[in-house]
A and B are shown apart, each in its own frame.
Chain A
């Protein structure tokens, strides 16, 4: 693996930020839509039939979980569809690597940008649900920092898939087989400890479950020692996978 330069990565991040600035409101609105629909349907619709989960009103339980999925989608869309269009159709990477930036800088810049979008989407969503009175602790102020970590994690995973993805059509598989099941089985809509032991063990292996667990604890002020392991899990997985997209993208772009 050739070394990336932090300055080079920052330059590519800056390009993305420059472009994003102008489509910011629309783009944010679209990425919001999905979690908000879930919030309305589950929180108010389904919630009307449920009393409480673990002592929490269902709306509070779901909303504090959906914050994390909003953040996940922010990073995931950036590093799947957006990155692929930039790389394959727009040939933006081909242009940038003729400058002092190299492939590694571009990939790392894209991952950092994915994490940034994750923080943006997650935080704005957090502010929206706070209006429903679901945030109960000042520890919630740490959630954006958590989303920087989880954003890096989801960006690294998505970018790895993008680097080996033969065609834009295959992102459907990424979403159908990875993102959607994770969305359903990571403790967003129901607590994992209510499930058979093997299911909650399987869920523990999914990246999103750790984000949900930690973000909810921060929003509600119920942080315990075990939450430390969620953070460690994310950091270890992110660090371990980080070289993958960088190496695979070089292999793809430089023959």
Chain B
């Protein structure tokens, strides 16, 4: 029962926000990586950062987990200032960095045990947690393997397990599933959802729209160092693209089509040979095109997704 009556400081943070950033800025010399962004992460939620490469997601994560000092602005994590209380903050975080940083000289299990020691856990407790966590991420049978013998998905799960040895109040995941195959990704998502049910607040970055939609309660979309949209995934889709998307291929006259559909489309996006029409009523829109006898090679009606929002807001230029 003692565990339920957490320390007073923890009770206070649980009532207020877990992360609060205002005017947060990071510059590397002349390069503006994060340009005065503000956001708030609430207790128990999964909060996502979406954006193309170079949008400033990782810099933001690094400032949250206190290895990168902000250039300007205010950043409070678990009610503490990152500039002055990094050690205390980090003691209550779990971090999955973008690169795997597992110790190749150690076995799978030892990776967790040694990491737990950094958080001052006694050896006995460290070993107990290591075994529990290996069970949790389905790696118990690989406990004595070397890290090199693990697949990419297993390594990522081991990173997640390692981030959990300190029983963190906040889990920060920088691209948790990049490079994983669909099965490995599903398994990782399942574990993250399981964690969320236990009340662990999560912050993650991703450029997979379906990942954000599957895991996040709220997201911000970042582009060129700024936040360009914020909200629940479904709300963002509704607000920025509507309910449905009609994809038209092989058009002879795109202009004519736009004229014909008129106000049935809330917006559109033209690509080389593809026209996307955002609409609340796709059936009606398709019906009108057919009625007018316009030539279209292929027409598809689908639900609007976060990807449409993302492309609409961040454009289609390739980012490197």
Contacts and interface: CB of A to CB of B under 8 A. Distances in A.
Interface of A: 5, 7-8, 11, 14-15, 18-19, 90-92, 94-102, 253-255
Contacts of A95: 97, 101-103, 115
A100 B118 contact: yes
Contact of A98 (B28, B93, B106, B120): B93
Given A18-B110, A92-B103, A97 B117 contact: no
A11 B118 contact: yes
A82 to B, nearest CB: 10
B239 interface: no
Contacts of A18: 106, 110, 114
A100 B119 contact: yes
Given A15-B114, A100-B119, A255-B28, A91 B101 contact: yes
Contacts of A255: 28, 68
A92 B106 CA distance: 12
Interface residues of B, number: 28
A94 B103 contact: no
B127 to A, nearest CB: 13
- Chain B, interface SS category: loop
Interface string B79-97: 0000000111011010101
Nearest to B33: A255
B90 A100 contact: yes
B102 to A, nearest CB: 8
21 contacts: A7-B120, A15-B117, A18-B106, A19-B103, A19-B106, A90-B101, A90-B104, A95-B97, A95-B101, A98-B67, A98-B95, A98-B97, A99-B90, A99-B118, A99-B119, A99-B166, A100-B118, A102-B86, A254-B67, A255-B28, A255-B68
Contacts of A101: 118
B6 interface: no
Interface of B: 28, 65, 67-69, 86-88, 90-91, 93, 95, 97, 99, 101-106, 110, 114-115, 117-120, 166
Given A11-B117, A99-B118, A100-B119, A94 B99 contact: yes
B287 to A, nearest CB: 56
Select the residue from A19, A91, A100, A102 with max chain B CB neighbours within 10 A: A100
Select the residue from A90, A99, A102 with max chain B CB neighbours within 10 A: A99
Contacts of B90: 98-100
Given A91-B99, A94-B99, A255-B68, A14 B117 contact: yes
A92 B95 CA distance: 14
A249 B95 CA distance: 22
Nearest to B89: A100
B91 A100 contact: yes
Contacts of B104: 90
